[in-house]
């Protein structure tokens, strides 16, 4: 590698990092807009495949219905979460007293005063502030979702002209076909990942909701939705989501039985889905090394926070697909893959 090439590569790396940090807010919205675009395309294609009427109704109608449905789902989910949070807020005094009772029980059992380690949680004002902050974040998330949908809608307006733009920009027929194949693979891989991961999340969230409902925990739907959403974060997401309702059970019930039962039962669901169902459904569709997944999760989380954690896998899959299209970067794609082999 020449000094000029090395310097250019270093400059490109630094410039890319600078853009990712400075343009964080816009890039996160655009990336989520791309994922929404893929989701909407998948829904549109499924609707267009309905026998008898699928091909008769214009594609733009299916696209519009998919956009309306997806935005409606987001609005309903956020409103459900907000209503559940309001319900939890009305019982703050009970939760605080239960937390004090639990602290007393632990002190009697093992002789340790845990209240000194959780002074803030013992105050109802702290819990109320936490719930209010969560509600505010969700309200802001609804506004951000609206912008994401707007971006996705404009992406669909560009979709019809995209093939013509590639033809005009890339004159060589071989390179043009190469680019189209790469874009097609990104398209199918991303839609496949999102569709299957959503299905797995619905199964996990649904089973968790039944457990929480029959255990009598307050806001069962809220915790189940959290478990569903955190399912998109690899490895640690499911564990974090399981801890939330388990810890909350201490405040609601003031004992150890309910938290341990909730944690154990939901973990059984997570293990069965993660180790039995998910490998069968997902197969080798991602072709990513487990170490790469963890590093990617850490990198994008450090760079973009919680949104980066949700986006880490789709972004890494796209990177591998792009890297394997060019001879100099094929070794990088092989290193990122699960067994050092690339599927075509």
Cα distance between residue 141 and residue 128, in whole Å? 20
The count of structural domains within the chain is 1
- pLDDT tens digits along 267-310: 888 888 877 777 766 655 566 777 888 888 888 888 888 888 88
pLDDT value for 207: 92
CA 155 to chain centre: 21
Residue 314 forms part of a structural domain: no
Q: What is the pLDDT of residues 12-61, one digit of tens each?
A: 767 777 777 787 888 888 888 888 888 888 888 888 878 777 777 888 88
Supply the pLDDT for residue 138.
66
Helix (H) or strand (E) holding 168: helix 124-169
Does residue 196 belong to any structural domain of this protein?
Answer: no
> Comparing C-alpha atoms, which of 251, 274, 275 is closest to residue 262?
251
* Exposed/middle/buried for residue 164 (C-beta within 10 Å: 0-12, 13-18, 19+): exposed
Instruction: Give pLDDT, residue 210.
Output: 94
What's the whole-model pTM score? 0.77
Buried b (16+ CB within 10 A) or exposed e, 127-148: beeeeeeebeeeeeeeeebeeb
- Return the DSSP state at 116: G
Q: Which domain holds residue 54?
A: 24-169
Q: Is residue 303 part of a domain?
A: no
**pLDDT on residue 311:** 85
In a domain, 264, yes or no: no
Q: What does the mean pLDDT of the chain come to? A: 77
Per the domain annotation, does 299 fall within a domain? no
Within a domain: 186 = no
Q: How confident is the model at residue 209 (pLDDT cuts 50, 70, 90)?
A: very high
Tell whether the model's pLDDT for residue 64 goes beyond 70. Answer: yes
What is the rounded average pLDDT of the residues 310-334?
79
Question: Would 183 be classed as within a structural domain?
Answer: no
68-82, 113-127, 210-224, range with the lowest pLDDT: 113-127
**Residue 161 domain-assigned (yes or no):** yes
pLDDT at 9 over 80: no
């Amino acid at each position: 590698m020449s000094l000029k090439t090395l310097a250019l590569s270093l400059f490109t790396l630094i410039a890319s990092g600078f853009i990712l940090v400075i343009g964080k807010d816009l890039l996160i919205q655009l990336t989520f807009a791309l994922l929404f675009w893929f989701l909407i395309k998948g829904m549109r294609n499924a609707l267009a495949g309905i026998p008898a009427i699928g091909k008769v109704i214009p594609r733009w109608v299916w696209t519009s219905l998919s956009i309306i449905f997806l935005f409606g789902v987001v609005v309903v989910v956020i409103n459900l979460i907000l209503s559940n949070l309001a319900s939890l807020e009305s019982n703050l005094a009970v939760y605080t007293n239960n937390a004090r009772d639990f602290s007393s029980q632990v002190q009697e059992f093992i002789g340790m005063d845990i209240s000194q380690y959780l002074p803030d949680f013992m105050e109802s004002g702290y819990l109320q502030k936490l719930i209010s902050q969560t509600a505010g974040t969700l309200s802001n998330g609804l506004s951000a979702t609206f912008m994401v949908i707007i971006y996705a809608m404009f992406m669909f307006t560009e979709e019809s002209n995209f093939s013509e733009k590639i033809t005009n920009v890339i004159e060589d027929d071989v390179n043009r076909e190469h680019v189209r194949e790469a874009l097609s693979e990104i398209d199918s891989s991303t839609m496949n990942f999102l569709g299957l991961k959503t299905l797995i999340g619905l199964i996990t969230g649904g089973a968790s909701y039944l457990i929480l409902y029959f255990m009598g925990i307050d806001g069962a739907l809220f915790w189940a939705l959290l478990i569903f959403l955190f399912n998109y974060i690899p490895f640690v997401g499911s564990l974090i989501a399981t801890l939330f309702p388990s810890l909350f059970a201490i405040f609601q019930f003031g004992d150890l039985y309910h938290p341990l039962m909730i944690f154990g039962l939901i973990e059984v669901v997570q293990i069965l889905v993660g180790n039995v169902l998910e490998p069968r459904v997902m197969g080798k569709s991602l072709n990513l090394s487990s170490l790469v997944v963890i590093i990617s999760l850490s990198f994008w989380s450090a760079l973009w926070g919680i949104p980066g954690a949700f986006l880490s896998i789709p972004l890494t899959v796209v990177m591998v697909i792009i890297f394997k299209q060019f001879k100099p970067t094929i070794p990088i794609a092989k290193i990122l893959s699960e067994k050092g082999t690339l599927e075509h």
